[in-house]
Structure 1
Amino acid sequence: MNVALLVARRYFFSKKKRNIINIISIIAMIGVGVGTMALIVVLSVFNGLEDLIKSLYGKFDPEIKITALQGKSFEANADLLNRIRQTPGVALITEVIEDNALLRYNDRQMVVKIKGVSDNFFQQNQIDSVIVDGDHRLKRDGKQYALIGRGVQYQLSIRPENPFSPLQFLYPKAGKKTIINPENAFRQIGIQAGGVFAIERQYDDQYVFVPLAFAQELLGYENKRTSIEVKTHNPANIDKVQAALQRTLGAGFQVLNSEQQHVSLLRAVKVEKLFVFVTFTFVLLIASINIFFSLSMLVLDKQKDIAILASMGADPGTIRRIFLTEGAIVAFTGAFVGLAVGGAICWIQQTYGLVSMGMTTSVVEAYPVLMRPMDFLLTAAAIILITLLVSIRPARKAAAISVRDHL
């Protein structure tokens, strides 16, 4: 029989008197429960935001992106492209030319990112699923079209497929130093807007997709490319394909997976989540101070009981375990309720989306929530550590009580 657990349960569930010690224990239990619930909910919201970011960028970004380690472009000759295609696991490659250009539409203008892509670009991603107006195809009936972001459309008041008002792109000509007419310093080409996409504001407000040949002509890149986008046969093997491509291409290229393409943003989310975890852990520690007070008062109240147990043969270790167990019962009861309620709140939000983002332009209607077992495990570990910290001193004081002085 576990004497420490038996006595601790007796102290905790005793109904003979409800004094200040019981009240403090209940307050401690409620504090731990509320703190645990809040921690689980907040961590799950951060998980949801991280997952949302990945899913949004997944519609735009390739599984693997190859860029030059130095400079913004590289020579994409047939040998290089063949080496990439023949790498095990590579299913598809898309050539990309991306640069800034000036876009004019009627009497308005703005600087945009023009992204010229080869014909198989839409086999790489899901942009065709986020078209809000027009058609996503960049070539139709032998004619070239541009696909513009919704933010670009709003800023320039662009009407897709309007044959009377094409988009005019301007890009500086290389090597022009002394020019009397500023207009001659730019290469200018027109193209009709064929469709509008809406992914995320960062992209919607600046990106315009055009056929690769159009970008080559406008930007004068010829055989140079700013990146090669790669689709794999099996997404589960992306890391292996990435490593194989890096070995094939050598040190002059960067081979980035989807997370590495946005490493700063995702790292910022993870750092914020870490700070939130640390902050709420301190909140739990403060809430658990009530456990320290209740145990300290319980030791004073039960001095005679402790002396009797000691006289009956209970060693100091057993006395310590009684009060450590008492603190654990208070903390773990609150923590269990907090974990259960926090998990239930997250499940309700995931299933029914009760809490709205409150923005009509938001990409999701409700706050994204994603529960992860590791968050529950880390929270439980933090509570165990905190319980030990606040319980060990009262337990030592109890074990040090003199039998002679209290009998």
Structure 2
Amino acid sequence: MIFPKGINLKGTSKDSEISIIPDNMLIGSLDDLKLGSNIILGEALAYDLNVGPGDSVKLVNISESNPLLGVPRIISFKVSGIFSVGSEIDQSYALIDNNLFKSFIKPENGENIEIRVENVLTARETGRDLIKSLENEGYIRLSSWDQLYGGLFRAVQLEKIMVSLLMSLILLVAIISLLISINNLIKTNEKEIAILRTMGYSRNQIQRIFLQLIFTVGVIGIALGNLLGYLFASNITEFLLFLSRVFDISMLDVYYLDYFPSIVKFNQILMINLVTFVLLMLFGLIPARKAANTNPINIINHS
């Protein structure tokens, strides 16, 4: 059967140091490209074409059509390897030997050169500096990763902001819920507070008791939150895959990923803990002062 599909064809060599594909080969290696008209396909692309190692595929270069007959240039390749980098690259990219690529895509049509930078966030600025240094070499067009895949990156950044806002609201609700619980505790123990006041406890001592209670509950909650959060962040891919199996939904396909990368930044954790603790103690002063200002005479008379 024929499965036509547009692809991104790249010429590469086994000596390339900028590609991550050699480290993500499922079948075969880049060395196989030197053996002849071999081609390496992304895992999803091979699945869409229903081909595997040893099968033949035909590449059609429409831009190289015969000017007299109007027949596009067609070359047959044998699938020699499959790679998977866990992104949309698996769905559309194919690799052939660089020399064969130049004969298939004539150099006069232009040549693509990929450059790997240490800091991906400065890729565009690095490219501009490079173009300035090569401005006398002819026409050069720059395409950085954020231009090619910037939409996905910006969507992830927006979701990160929304998640941060949502977590801030959840944190605020949790603090308010804790304070409501402390306030209810004060109401149900007004008699005990009144007895302590009649026994000679000062308002500062009563306030200190409830602040210590808030401090203890807050520290335990923060510690448990850190532990559970670290375990969740470190195993988020397994957690999402578990939810996918339980609810029969695919949660990673929207990003063309088969794993969810995560980085635990301890400086951010420390900052969140500090802000949480400060807010907890500041809001905790309200019920603590209320308990300290309890009038023991009124409580005893009403009881």
Match of 2:42 in 1: 149
Decide which structure has greater helix share. Answer: 2
Deviation string 1:276-320 (CA, Å, 9 cap, x unpaired) is: 34434434443444432343245451256458544xxx66xx765
CA deviation after TM superposition for structure 1 residue 224, in Å: 1.3
Cα distance in 2 between the residues matched to 1:271 and 1:259 = 15
Alignment pair present for 1:337 and 2:218:
no
Alignment pair present for 1:128 and 2:22:
yes
Cα distance in 2 between the residues matched to 1:329 and 1:159 = 61
Cα distance in 2 between the residues matched to 1:240 and 1:364 = 24
Cα distance in 1 between the residues matched to 2:148 and 2:168 = 32
Match of 2:266 in 1: 373
| Contact 1:149–1:206 (Cα < 8 Å) also in 2 | yes
The SS at the match of 1:190 is strand
CA deviation after TM superposition for structure 1 residue 398, in Å: 4.1
Match of 2:3 in 1: 109
Q: Percent identity?
A: 17
> Aligned AA for 1:394?
P
CA RMSD of aligned residues (A): 4.6
Match of 2:114 in 1: 229
| Contact 1:292–1:394 (Cα < 8 Å) also in 2 | yes
Match of 1:357 in 2: 241
| Contact 1:152–1:204 (Cα < 8 Å) also in 2 | yes
Compared with structure 1, are the counterparts of its residues 269 and 389 closer, same or farther at alpha carbon in structure 2 (3 Å cutoff)? farther
Compared with structure 1, are the counterparts of its residues 229 and 295 closer, same or farther at alpha carbon in structure 2 (3 Å cutoff)? same
Match of 1:190 in 2: 75
The SS at the match of 2:108 is coil
CA deviation after TM superposition for structure 1 residue 397, in Å: 3.0
Report 1:3-402 matches (<5 A). 107-119=1-13, 122-137=16-31, 139-140=33-34, 143-158=36-51, 160-161=53-54, 165=56, 167-172=58-63, 184-199=69-84, 200=86, 202-220=88-106, 222=108, 224-225=110-111, 227-231=112-116, 235=118, 243=125, 245-250=127-132, 254=142, 256=144, 262-300=149-187, 301=190, 302-303=193-194, 305=196, 308-310=200-202, 323-343=210-230, 349=235, 357=241, 370-388=263-281, 390-398=283-291, 400-401=293-294
CA deviation after TM superposition for structure 1 residue 222, in Å: 1.4
Compared with structure 1, are the counterparts of its residues 240 and 274 closer, same or farther at alpha carbon in structure 2 (3 Å cutoff)? closer
| Contact 2:27–2:83 (Cα < 8 Å) also in 1 | no
Structure 2 gaps of 5+ residues are none
Deviation string 1:236-259 (CA, Å, 9 cap, x unpaired) is: x77789755532423975474x67
> Aligned AA for 2:94?
V
Compared with structure 1, are the counterparts of its residues 240 and 295 closer, same or farther at alpha carbon in structure 2 (3 Å cutoff)? closer
Choose between structure 1 and 2 for higher RCO, CA contacts under 8 A separated by at least 6 residues. Answer: 1
Compared with structure 1, are the counterparts of its residues 213 and 116 closer, same or farther at alpha carbon in structure 2 (3 Å cutoff)? farther
Cα distance in 2 between the residues matched to 1:281 and 1:383 = 10
TM-score using structure 2 length: 0.66
Cα distance in 1 between the residues matched to 2:47 and 2:120 = 37
CA deviation after TM superposition for structure 1 residue 108, in Å: 0.5
CA deviation after TM superposition for structure 1 residue 380, in Å: 1.6
| Contact 1:147–1:196 (Cα < 8 Å) also in 2 | yes
| Contact 2:37–2:76 (Cα < 8 Å) also in 1 | yes
Deviation string 1:333-387 (CA, Å, 9 cap, x unpaired) is: 222233235445666x59xx97683689999999776533145324424532552
Aligned residues: 279
The SS at the match of 1:247 is helix
CA deviation after TM superposition for structure 1 residue 220, in Å: 4.9
| Contact 2:53–2:82 (Cα < 8 Å) also in 1 | no
Cα distance in 2 between the residues matched to 1:238 and 1:204 = 21
CA deviation after TM superposition for structure 1 residue 403, in Å: 8.1
Deviation string 1:123-162 (CA, Å, 9 cap, x unpaired) is: 3223233333444346535x34322223333333335445
| Contact 1:355–1:366 (Cα < 8 Å) also in 2 | no
CA deviation after TM superposition for structure 1 residue 215, in Å: 4.3
Compared with structure 1, are the counterparts of its residues 263 and 112 closer, same or farther at alpha carbon in structure 2 (3 Å cutoff)? same
CA deviation after TM superposition for structure 1 residue 212, in Å: 4.2
Compared with structure 1, are the counterparts of its residues 339 and 129 closer, same or farther at alpha carbon in structure 2 (3 Å cutoff)? closer
CA deviation after TM superposition for structure 1 residue 189, in Å: 2.3
